[in-house]
Structure formats: structure tokens, C-alpha cells
Chains A and B, each alone.
Chain A
Amino acid sequence: MQFMLLFSRQGKLRLQKWYVPLSDKEKKKITRELVQTVLARKPKMCSFLEWRDLKIVYKRYASLYFCCAIEDQDNELITLEIIHRYVELLDKYFGSVCELDIIFNFEKAYFILDEFLLGGEVQETSKKNVLKAIEQADLLQESQMSSSKSGIEYPSSCRTRAALKVIPPTLLHWAMMSEADGDMAIEVEPSHQYSITFYCRITDGNRRAV
């Protein structure tokens, strides 16, 4: 895949991801031309476009157009499904996603995209695995937030985690480990490491008890 663009029916760009090195000027030109061309197409027309030497595959979801550029020998239909899978992922993550979600949380949308497509190729096709990776990073964020909010008040973060029952125990372990590492590097002395790892075990036990 060469690039992916998300834009609204009004032609406003919502997301752009380029997998080929291009100058800003070229990017702008391509975006402008492409948005115009795609918006001009009628709903009954097919979702593929031959544009310059590329194939454009686009699909409209509500007010948002998802648009991918692929090479001629690539499979157009599977690209359509890539778009669809991405929408599914967004949907699952945001809970019935709408354009506003993407507008206001575009960085999240990027994170999800990066877990799904990497360097223009499908990285992970299992929906579960993608969300797992995202959630785990978010978990960190949350725990970081909570831990920073209340100093070293662990039980609250424990509650947060307990709520996320979908996460398998192994992952929980990992997440906590990384959290420990992450915070440790900044503020906690090495001697605390013991207490934290120890704590993790307790939470694990707790969670099982719950």
C-alpha cells in the first residue's frame, strides 16, 4: 500500500498515512486531486479508481471516506476488506465509532492503524491481537495516569485493571511489568522493584479471588 487517507464528505482530511517517501508539496497535491476525484464519483460506481499509475480503493462509511492507494498488481478486494477491518477495529475500540471519535481522537486512530498496518503491509490480521496491543499500551497510559494522580496509591490502579477482564493473565503480568519498568525509570529507586513485582503477584491473586 502506498498511502491511506481518511476524509469527510466535505473534503476535509481526517487522517493521512504515507508509506512512500513524498515531499509535503506532492502529498498536498495528491490529496487535493484525489479527494476531488473520489467525491465526484456517484454512489453506484465501483470502489476502484485508476489514478495515475496507481489503483485507488475507496469506501464510504457514513460521512467518512476511507481511501487507499495500491499498486496495479495488488488485490483490490482485499484492500476493501483491509479498510473494513480497520473500521471494525475502530468500532470495537471506540464502541460504535463515529466521525467525531476520529476527529477528536485521531492520535488513537493512528495508533490502531499502526498496529494493524505497518509500513504499508498488513501486520496483524487477528482483530484480537491488534486490540490486545492497543489496550496494553492504553493500559499503561491509564495506570500511569492513575498512579501519577494518586502518588503510589496502587489499589486504584488495581481496580482499573480488574475491570478489564478480557485481558488474559499473561498479558496482565506483562502490562504490569512494563508499567513497573516505565515508572521505575523515572521516579522509583531500584530497591522498590522488589516491592512492585511482589505487588503484582498480589494483584494477580486478588484478581483471581475476585
Chain B
Amino acid sequence: MSDVVERTLGVLPALLGQHEPGAGPGGAGGPHRLSASSRLGSLIRNITALTSKHEEEKLIQQEITSLKAMVSAPTTSLRLMKECMVRLIYCEMLGYESSFGYIHAIKLAQQGNLLEKRVGYLAVSLFLHENHELLLLLVNTVVKDLQSTNLVEVSMALTIVSQIFPREMIPAVLPLIEDKLQHSKEIIRRKAVQALYKFYLIAPNQVQHIHDKFRKALCDRDVGVMAASLHIYLEMIKENSSGYKDLTESFVIILKQVVGGKLPIDFNYHSVPAPWLQIQLLRILGLLGKDDPRTSELMYDVLEESLRRAEINHNITYAILFECVQTIYTIYPKSELLEKAAKCIGKFVLSPQINLKYLGLKALTCVIQQDPNLALEHQMTIIECLDHPDPIIKRETLEILYRITNGHNVVVIVQKMLDYLKETKEEYAIITLAGKIAELAEKYAPNNEWFIQTMNAVFSVGGDVLYPDIPNNFLRLLAEGFDDGKEDKQLRTYAVRSYLALLEEENVFYPQKFLQVMSWVLGEYSSLATDVDPETILTRLHNLLKKTFVTSETKAWIMAAVTKIASRASFSKTVDKLIQEFSSSLDTCMRQHTFELKHLCEDKVLMKGLLPFDASCNDMVVDASLSFLDEFVAEGLGQGAAPYKPHHQRQEEKLSQEKALNFEPYGLSFASSVSSSGIAGRQSPTGLSFGSDTSGNSTEMGHKETNTLKLEGVRKLWGKEGYLPKKESKVGKEDEPQTVSCSSLLARRVAETPVSKSDQVSSLSEEEKEKQQLASTLFVGLGSNANVSLMGKVDLSTQKFKRKSKVDKAQSNEEALNMQNSAASDFGPLVDTVPITKEDCDGDKHTTLRKPSLCSSDTVGETLQSVKKPGLDDKLSDSRLSPLSLFADSNIEILQPSPSSQCENANKTVLLPSLAEELEELPHSEVAELCQSDALALYLCKVWKDDSLLLVVFVSNKNPSALNAVNVVFEKEQHFQILESPACQFPVIEAQSVGHCQKCVRMDKLCTQGVISGFVNYQSEMETHLEFSIPLSLLDFIRPMKMTTEDFGKLWLSLSNDVKQNIKMPSSQDSISAALSVLHQKLKLHIVDIIGNEGILACQLLPSVPCLLHCRTHSGMLALWFRSPCSALPDGLLYQCQKVMEES
């Protein structure tokens, strides 16, 4: 304590010095600084001199106490505060609580001069994270500094913004930062871009209106600014690569310049030109070229050059090479490049440098699915790496093996993985590896014994950290079984026996999950092992129950198993003992289970009925409406009981009784709840009673067990055939190259191996022989030699553990469970079932609508194809025409019932593109050309119907002859959904005529701008393909919403998401009414009311998301305030408003 006093005293003279008016601003600055920095120095020195953690703690606590006193003292000068902050940063780094200083760091950044500000900002960036509430207090400072004329202040403010900034305050600084993009200093421009990148990461919606400015940044004359903009582009392209294809060429040119050494020499790093830039560009190109032959074409040259230029033996060139290889394998393949890339990977893999070796393995892991031959080529290295002392290398090697696993090598590979699993202690590694082993075991298991043993190992090692999917899937596999009943029985019996053997061992600790699996299997299938006395099984389970390490959840599983076994045994001493023992258990759950068991045992018939053998997969029909209680209810009503009123009804009545006193208007939400409950109707009471029913009637426990289990397993991660959809494609790929011609070369290589082996037997050491053997077991099935003879077997073995397709069953199960679940929760059904039923209705409608149109188009397509084949024979043309016209007719016929509906409509008009009359009256855009070729032209017209956006596409045939089989296909887009089928077919378009089709589009995911792309193809001498894209804007889906001022008021209060922004009013419109009329005309907002300088507007995003806008003018500014139930909608609309106001 005396130390504290001393410290405080030591500071005093400095404090006094600060306030001596005569000494000038920095009179005591020099010596003061010295003392403070030496204070930090001495603190550090003291700490390093200490020997024990305890002493350090004491010292730091002292330091913190003194700092606390100092920072909160009002007399502390900013200069001193700065030193305090530095010390505080140090304390925090040592792991001591220093949150008391956070607010002072913000103050320092706000009030200090440059030097102090710098430390203040640093402290803020180190202390706070972007979700910290104190950060809001910094916003004002940042805004002030951004407006400063001092470059250093601006630069500091930009630095802090790029690191941490509260998401909701972005609008406050965004315009200022946008201004900085035009700054004369490149450092400021660069930091501004970096800040925008940060904004893009945390709130992409808010910066979408400045995308063109990003482009400007990309073209900046300064390399640093351009490089910074690449961060943004990488992110944006990751999100949506199709939107930036046009930039490919620019990126390629930049990369070419960089690789060619055209940049200033400053950017060289170890004489490699701007490696960071190169890598960034390569990644972008990889994303752009993925699955796109045309874009990939553009980059082949520069990639080759990059490969060629990276020659120096230095880490940095390897970094570029690695990125280059990855890019080459991601984009549309080109064989020459692939060859070079493969050679590069070889260089990595064979490198003596361990880092490079690791990367080589990583690269192999990535490309192995495309090119399994590479694995063969490097098989010896892979084998070596399997026993590498560095576990990281081992792990990566296992990853490769995991990807080349097939029916032949699964045993060896899984063994290797299990070995690693047993060694490692790291939880994350255990989880992932155990998941992979389980997946491989399920897919490729050669026999039952192996499968069960492997899973046992996984469960006992993986323990309780495993994904819950693994045990669930395992049990489901056992329960659902395979197509072969005998096989099922064998598997189950084997499992039972192996678990009994495991439980026999005394004093062995098993993870809870494993015990749960064991008890479930024993409970379900123990009777399959006919030679085992049920009594012994019960004794084992009983012993388990007494163990202290068994959790109460596991005990519940065990009790369930006991109950199931007891239901099959006529009488059991152990059960009696168990009942006696646990009836007085302190664990209430255990006691409950025991009582259930006891009562069930008294009525064996009921028990047998309740717990049928092997019925865990059977569907349970749950009568959610509880119709079987109708009689009971009727009886009750007959005896004069009051009818049941659902909760909302009771509430309503209560309210109406109180109405005399209640003057408050109720929000819209109440009204909607009334309407929805109307639909819910009868389900709600049953929900209640059913809930109590299940809890009361606990005899269902056995069933409940299996149900909960399945409910968890139902997660979509696992498909019917095991884990992955991608895995399937992999299997296909593995087989593919074996049929390809190049594999013959490989075959020779593999064939040579045994020969060379025999030649060199004498020279080979024992160890190497072992490795060779391992290699041959590991890589079997990959080469072509194995394939030819074993192809059939592969299939057999892979199918072994394929599950029966029980899609429907599982689904219905799921549904039933859902119902049950929702019913069990008190008022669940009110909320839950309503949307379900609605959806169902919708679904029904859709399907009924869709069916006719779909089948008609399908049949047309089919017949066309069949007709196409014969060729263009004249003789056939007659016969071709007749079915065509026939189908054309039928097409119209089918469609006629709903001509105005959203169905596709394939009509033919001879006129130039113009809208049908009924559409002409609706608001619509001009007919604009989409694309053209020699033969046809595509025109588009958007019709803004009240309830939807209708795209009318005109296909005009410019040829003198008729076009056949014209197909307009829209591609799937994540933001938009095309109702009905995404394609539209014209069997024939006559010469010089126009066909048109209509599509209704819905916005699925909110975005301000988007594109629906598609293509047209038609039949001529050759197949022709013409691409087009339709730009869509948010505005296409905005409709005015008519309402009264009162409605507006009510709705306003019920909405939660709001966005406020001030925008400049154009000089041409200074009055509010003029401004609002612009919004009304351009954005289709409905003006509800204008009072004085305030106005309210309303609109809706189709189908029915309202958005309300409140405007106020003051001193040339228009204050906009949006509210909507959808959080992104206000942002999008705000952007449109800004644009419109700027334009006008």
C-alpha cells in the first residue's frame, strides 16, 4: 500500500508542472515523459526480474490500483493519461483485468493532441472489439477526425474504422469515407478503401451503392490503393462470381503487369514483384474461372507465365506457385497447364523442406479427386509421411488417404486413422477424425465384425466429444437394416455379443455415448443372441446402473433397455432386485423409471403390447386431433360441462369485457393473431390435452427413447448413402480415369512395380519392403490393374452398407414426430401448425397448377427429340409437322383454363413485339432488346402487375424460314425465383413472326440489383445457343401500399427495424410535396399524408412485406426514416431514394 502512495506522490510534481502557466504547454514535457516512460520501463524490468507468478500478480495488482486512481483523478493531464494507457495495455497483455481504463482510452482519443490521440486510438483498438458497447462513444471522435484538415488525424481515424467500428453507426461515417476516396494522398485513399472493405464484411447492404467507386479504386494510379480494393473484390466475387466476369480481363492485365515487373521496385519482396498482390489476383482468378471455360480461357496465358517466372528457390516463390497450382486446378482445366501444375506439386511433395512437403500434401488433398493418378505417383512419399514424427504431416496424409478410400483399402486406411486417433489428444482432431472413420466404415465395411469393431473403437476413443450424428446414424443403420433380413440379424447379433463381451470386463471406463449405444442395442436386440440368458444381460446392465461415472441421462437409456428386456422375459430376479433398489433412489428420474417398470411388470400383456420386438422403425401414427377423445368430450358436454375455449378466445372475451375501459388501440399484431388462430381452430385444445397425456402416460417410455433418437438423426447431413453428396461424385471420379486412355500409361507403371520389386529385392531393406507392401495395400483399387478385375467387387462392397431407401417412411416419421412435439408443447400448435397447413395448401395449389404445364412441355420436348433424330428428311417433315401442331394445340388447350394466371403462355403473334391487350393497360416498361443473333432477336418487357412482376420475353424470328424447337431457359438465381418452370418452349416459330412467353418472378432474397440470366437455343443445321441476362432491380418488386393515416400509425408502432438517414434535397425541389412526388413517381411509393414539412409514405415488397417511410424537411435536407418488418428492405429502399434524389 505504501508503494501506491509513493507512486502517486511521485506523479504529483509532474502534475503540478503541467499546470504551471508560465512553463508553456510542454514546460515539463521532456522530463515528465522521461519519468513516465521509465515508469513503464521499471515496471517491465520489475516484472521480468520476478520469479513467481504470485509475485507478478501482486505487483500488477499494485500497478493497476495506482493506475485506477490516476486515470480517474480529474487532475490527470492527457499527457500523463497517455502513459497510463501504455501501461494499461501492458497489464492487459499480461492478462489482467483493466476494463476500468477503456472509457479513458476513448476520452484520450477524443481530447488528446496528435500524439496522445494516437495512443488513445491504439488503446481503443486493443481493448475493445467491434461489438463492445463503449465503441459507440468513439463514433463522434471518428467523425470529427475524418473531417479534420490534418492528414495524420484523418489517417488515424481511418485506421481505427478499418479495425473496429460499430455496425449500426456506419451511415454516420460512410459519406465522409466515400469523400476520402478522392483524396489526393494515396495513403488516405488506401485506408478509405480498407475501411469500406471492413464495412463490406460487417454490413454488405450498406455499401452496395458504391460499387462503382470500388471500380474506380481498382483503377487507381497508386498500386497500394488498387491492392486494397482487391480485398473487396475477392469478397464480392466469393459471394457472386457471375457478377464480375467482365472484370476478368482487367485482373489478368494487372497480373500480367505485376508478373512482368512493371510495378515500382518498392513493391518487390526478395526480388519477387509484389507477391501479395499476385496471390490475391490468383485467388480472384480462380474464383472467376471456376466451371467457366470462356473466362478460364482468358487466364491460361498469365497463369503459365506466373508458373514460369516463379523460379527462385525462396519461400515467396513457392507461395505463389502454390496459389497458382490451386487456381489451375480450380478453373476449367487445360491439360498442358495441369501437367505443369502436377509437376509443381511433385516439387512440393518431394522437397526436403518440411513446410513445402506439408503444402505438397495439402495440394494433393485438394486435387486428388480430380486426378487420383497423382496419389499413385507419390505413393512412396505418402507412405513415408504416414510415419512422420510431426503429427501435422501425419494428419494431412490421413486426409489424403481418406479421400482415396475404397472398398479394398478401407481396412488398412481405417486402421491408420484409428492409430492416429488413439495417439492424439486434441479434441478437434478427434471429432473430425472419428467422424471420417465412422463415415468410411459405414460406406465400405467389408464385413459385420469389422464394422462393429471399428465403430466400437470410434465410440470408445471418440468418447463424448463425437458429433451426436455418429451414434444416431449407427443406431439407425442397425435399426433400419438392409435389404437382406439375414444379414441384418447377423449384424445385430454380432453387435449384441461384442457389447456383452465389453461389459463383462470389470473396471473399464466407457464414454457415456458408447454406453447409451450399447444399452439401446442390448435392449432392442439382445434376444437375437439366443444362447445368452437374459438374466446375465440384466445383471450387466444392473451393474452399470450402480456405477458412479454413469450419468443420469445414460441411466435413463439403461433403464429403457432393462424395461425392454423385462418385457420379453417372463420373470426376472434381477428386475425385482433392481426395482427394490431404485424405488427409493434419490434421483427422481431413476425413481420414476423404476416405478414405471414396476407397474408394467404387473401387467405383462400390456407391456408386451407396448414394447414390441424390432419395431423401432415402424411408423407411429399419432392422432394429433385426439379424435379418440371425442366420445369423452361429448359425454362431458352432455353432462353440462362448459365447452373448451382456446386460450386466445378466452383472452379475447376477457378483453371485450374490459373494453368499456380500454381506450388504447391495439396493434396489428393482435389482429393477425386472431385470424391465424381461426385457422388453428380445433388443434389448439388437443395440443393441451395431448401434452398432459404423454407426460401422464409414461409407459410409452420405450417408444419415446427410439423417437428422440431418430429425431436427432434426422439432420440432413447424412444422406441415404452415408455422409456426402460430394462423396458420390468422388466415387464416380475415381472410376472414371480408369477408362480413360491415359490410364494405360498408368497401368504399365503399376504393372512395373512388382517387376522392379523382384529385381531389387536384394537391395531393398526389410523396412522398405514393408513400405512397398503397405503401398500396394493402400493404393489398391486406384490403379487400372485393380480396376479391370475388381470393378464388380468394388460395387458390391460399396453397396454393402447402403441403407434401404426409406425416404417416405422416415419423412412421415419425422412429420409425425413434429406433430407430436409441437402438440406436446403447451401452446405450440397455435404457432406451429398454422404455417404448416398454409404451406400445404400452397403446395397443393402449386402442384396442381404446375402439373399440366409441366407435362405438356415435357411431352413436347420428348417428341421433338425423337423426331429430331431421323434428320431433315423431306418425307419425314410432313409427319413431323402433324405431331407438332397436335402438341401445339394441346398445349394451348391445357393452358387455357388459366390464361391470365402465372402459367407460361406460348402464343404466337405475327406482329412486332407488343404486349397483349390485357397487359398493355398495366404499368409496364418499354419493350427493349435483350440480345440478337442472325436468326432471332429477343425482346423483353417488364410488366409491373399489382401482385407480381411479369417478364414478357418476345422471341422474334428474323429468318425467312420457320425456327423449330426454340427453347428459352432461365437459369436458377439465388435472389429470384421463377414461378412455374424455368423454361419455355416454342415448338415452332414461323418466319418473320414473334412468339412470346411470360414468367412471373418473385424475389426470394432481398437485393437491390440482380440479374436473371438464361439462354435461348433452337434447332437449325446446328444447335444454336444465345445467352441473355435480364437486370432486375428492387424497384421491380416494390408496389404502393394504400392505407389511411391511422393504419399507418398503427403499423408504424408495430414495426421494429428502422433506418434513418439525411439526404440532400435537390435544388429543383425544395418543397416536401415536390420531393415526395418524385418518390411517388419513381419508386412507386404511396403518399399517405403530408402535414406541414412532414410526410408519410408506404409501399410493399411483393408479395406482402410492408415498408413505411416518414420524411421531414429541414434546411435543405430530407430526413428519411424507414420502418419495416424486414431488416434489409429499408437499406435497399434508402439506396433507391438516394439515387432518385440525386438524379432529379
| A141: B residues at CB distance < 8 A | 114-115, 118
Asked whether, in the complex, the Cβ of A49 is within 8 Å of the Cβ of B392, the reply is yes
Scan A11-31; emit 1 where CB is below 8 A from any B CB, else 0. 001111111011110001001
A122 interface residue per 8 A CB criterion: yes
A119 and B191 alpha carbons, distance in the complex (Å) = 11
Q: How far is the CB of B722 from chain A (nearest CB, A)?
A: 23
* Complex Cα gap A46–B356 (Å): 9
Q: Which residues of B contact A28 (CB under 8 A)?
A: 95
Contact of B318 among A23, A77, A178 (CB under 8 A): A77
A124 touches B190 (CB 8 A): yes
Instruction: Let me know if B276 is at the binding interface, CB within 8 A.
Output: yes
B253 on the A face (CB < 8 A): no
Closest to A149 in B: B30
- Minimum C-beta distance from B826 to chain A (A): 35
In angstroms, Cα B362 to Cα A75, docked, is: 11
Q: Is the CB of A181 within 8 A of B150?
A: yes
- Asked if A104 and B41 make an inter-chain contact with CB atoms under 8 angstroms apart, the answer reads yes
Q: Among residues 157 to 210 in chain A, which have CB atoms less than 8 Å away from a CB atom of chain B?
A: 174, 177-178, 181-183, 185-187
Among residues of B, the one whose C-beta sits closest to the C-beta of A174 is B151
Partner among B29, B357, B359 whose Cβ is within 8 Å of the Cβ of A145 = B29
- Do residues B93 and A129 form an inter-chain contact, with CB atoms below 8 A? no
* Pair A13/B114 contact, Cβ less than 8 Å: no
Q: Name the 4 nearest CB pairs between A and B, nearest first.
A: A148-B26, A77-B319, A21-B129, A126-B266
Cβ contact of A81, chosen from B153, B198, B267, B316, cutoff 8 A = B316
Contacting residues of chain B (554-605) with chain A, CB-CB under 8 angstroms: none
Q: How far is the CA of A121 from the CA of B233 in the complex (A)?
A: 13
29 contacts between A and B (CB under 8 A): A13-B95, A16-B126, A24-B97, A44-B390, A46-B354, A49-B392, A50-B392, A50-B429, A51-B428, A80-B315, A80-B319, A81-B316, A118-B159, A118-B163, A119-B194, A119-B198, A121-B197, A123-B190, A125-B269, A127-B266, A137-B152, A140-B114, A140-B115, A141-B115, A148-B30, A149-B26, A149-B29, A181-B148, A186-B113
* Distance between B113 CB and nearest chain A CB, rounded to angstroms: 6
User: Which residues of A, 34-54, contact B by the 8 Å Cβ criterion?
Assistant: 42, 44-53
B228 touches A123 (CB 8 A): yes
| Residues of A close to B426: CB separation below 8 A | 51
Decide yes or no whether B227 CB sits under 8 A from chain A: yes
User: In whole angstroms, what is the CA distance A17 to B127 when docked?
Assistant: 10
A121 cross-chain contacts in B, Cβ below 8 A: 194, 197, 231
Determine if A94 is an interface residue (Cβ-Cβ < 8 Å): no
- Which A residues are in CB contact (< 8 Å) with B981? none
A5 nearest CB across to chain B (Å): 10
Contact at A148–B162, with CB atoms within 8 Å? no
Given the interface pairs A77-B359, A118-B159, A145-B30, the reply to whether A110 lies near B126 with Cβ below 8 Å is yes
Q: How far is the CA of A209 from the CA of B275 in the complex (A)?
A: 40
Q: Taking each of A47, A114, A127, which has the highest tally of chain B beta carbons within 10 Å of its own beta carbon?
A: A114
Beta-carbon contacts under 8 Å, B99-136 to A: 113-115, 118-119, 122, 125-126, 129-131
Known: A13-B93, A15-B93. A46 touches B149 (CB 8 A): no
Could you tell me the distance in whole angstroms from the C-beta of B214 to the nearest C-beta in chain A?
Answer: 15
Chain A residues 70-85 with CB under 8 Å of chain B are 75-78, 80-81, 84-85
The residue from A103, A107, A151 contacting B122, defined by CB atoms under 8 A apart: A107
Residue-by-residue, is A133-148 near B (CB-CB < 8 Å gives 1, otherwise 0)?
1001100110011011
A104 touches B95 (CB 8 A): no
Task: Say yes or no: A48 contacts B392, CB within 8 Å.
Answer: yes
**Complex-state Cα separation, A25 to B194, whole angstroms:** 29
What chain A residues lie within 8 Å of B118 (beta carbons)?
111, 137, 141
Does any Cβ of A come within 8 Å of B90's Cβ?
Answer: yes
Q: Is the CB of B129 within 8 A of A18?
A: yes
Q: Report yes or no: A114 in contact with B159, Cβ–Cβ below 8 A.
A: yes
Q: Which residues of A contact B113 (CB under 8 A)?
A: 144, 182-183, 185-186
Most buried by B among A53, A84, A124, A149: A124
Q: Whose C-beta in chain A lies nearest to the C-beta of B31?
A: A149
Q: Which of A49, A75, A147, A174 has the most CB of B within 10 A?
A: A75
Interface residues on A, range: 35 or more
- How many angstroms from the CA of A37 to the CA of B148 in the assembled complex? 46
Task: Note all chain B residues with C-beta closer than 8 A to A53.
Answer: 428
Q: Is the CB of B24 within 8 A of A148?
A: yes
Of chain A, the residue at the smallest CB distance from B354 is A46
Q: By the criterion CB–CB under 8 Å, are A129 and B122 in contact?
A: no
Known contacts A46-B392, A50-B429, A149-B30; is-contact A178 B151 (Cβ 8 Å): yes
Known: A121-B231, A140-B114. Is A81-B315 also a contact (CB below 8 A)?
yes
Q: Contact flags (1/0) for B324-345 with A, using CB distance below 8 Å?
A: 0000000000000000000000
Please give 4 more A-B residue pairs, beta carbons under 8 A apart, in addition to A21-B130, A48-B392, A123-B224: A16-B126, A21-B164, A22-B129, A128-B266
Tell me which residues across on chain B come within 8 A of A19, comparing CB atoms.
163
B89 close to A75 (CB less than 8 A) = no
Complexed CA–CA distance, A128 and B392 (Å): 37
Cβ–Cβ < 8 Å partners of A75 in chain B: 279, 319, 322-323
- Identity of the chain B residue whose Cβ is nearest the Cβ of A46 in the assembled complex: B354
Residues of B within 8 A of A (CB): 24-26, 29-30, 33, 40-41, 44, 48, 86, 89-90, 93-95, 97, 113-115, 118-119, 122, 125-126, 129-131, 148-153, 155, 159, 162-164, 185, 187, 190-191, 194, 197-198, 223-224, 227-228, 231, 264, 266-267, 269, 274-277, 279, 315-316, 318-319, 322-323, 354-355, 357-359, 362, 389-390, 392-393, 395-396, 426, 428-429
Tell whether, in the assembled complex, residue A45 and residue B354 are in contact, meaning their CB atoms are under 8 Å apart: yes
Q: Contacts of A80 on B, CB cut-off 8 Å?
A: 315, 319, 355
Q: At the interface, yes or no: A61 with Cβ under 8 Å from chain B?
A: no
- Chain A residues closer than 8 Å to B197, beta-carbon distance: 119, 121
- Interfacial chain A residues near B129, Cβ < 8 Å: 18, 21-23
B162 touches A118 (CB 8 A): yes
Contacting pair A81 B428 (CB below 8 A): no
Contact B358 A48 (CB under 8 A): yes
Residue of B at shortest CB range from A125? B276
B119 touches A107 (CB 8 A): yes
The verdict on A78 contacting B276 (CB below 8 Å), with A121-B194, A148-B26, A149-B29 known, is yes
The answer to whether A126 and B224 touch across the interface, beta carbons within 8 angstroms, is yes
Task: State in angstroms the CA–CA spacing of A130 and B118 once bound together.
Answer: 16
Q: Write the nearest CB–CB distance from A66 to chain B, whole angstroms.
A: 14
Inter-chain CA distance A129–B190, complex, in Å, is 12
Task: Give the nearest-CB partner of B194 in chain A.
Answer: A118
The closest CB in chain A to the CB of B47 belongs to A12
If the complex has contacts A114-B122, A125-B267, are A21 and B395 also in contact, measured as CB distance less than 8 A? no
**What's the minimum C-beta distance from B398 to chain A, rounded to whole angstroms?**
11
In Å, the complex CA distance between A144 and B227 comes to 33
Distance between Cα atoms of A75 and B323 in the complex (Å): 7
Bound complex: CA of A174 vs CA of B151, how far in Å? 8
Q: Is the CB of A125 within 8 A of B122?
A: no
Q: Is the CB of B29 within 8 A of A46?
A: no
Contacts of A151 in B (CB 8 A): 24
Min distance, Cβ A135 to any Cβ of chain B, angstroms = 12
Is B191 a contact partner of A118 (Cβ separation < 8 A)? yes
**B782 CB to nearest A CB, Å:** 25
A148 cross-chain contacts in B, Cβ below 8 A: 24-26, 29-30
- CA separation between A124 and B222, bound complex, in Å? 11
Chain B residues with Cβ under 8 A from A145's Cβ? 26, 29-30, 33
**Complex Cα distance A118/B151, Å?**
18
Residue of B nearest to A80 (CB): B315
Q: Is the CB of B275 within 8 A of A81?
A: yes
Residues of A contacting B25 with CB < 8 Å? 148, 186-187
In this complex, what residue of B is CB-closest to A31?
A: B95
- The residue on B at minimum CB distance from A54 is B428
Query: Contact between B191 and A140 (Cβ–Cβ < 8 Å)?
Result: no
Interface centre among B30, B119, B164, B266 (most CB of A within 10 A): B266
Instruction: Kindly name the residue among A51, A104, A177, A178 whose own CB sees the greatest number of chain B CB atoms within 10 A.
Output: A178
Closest to B222 in A: A129
Q: Is the CB of B264 within 8 A of A76?
A: no
Chain A residue numbers with a CB within 8 Å of B357 are: 46
Residue from A106, A118, A129 within 8 A of B90 (CB atoms): A106
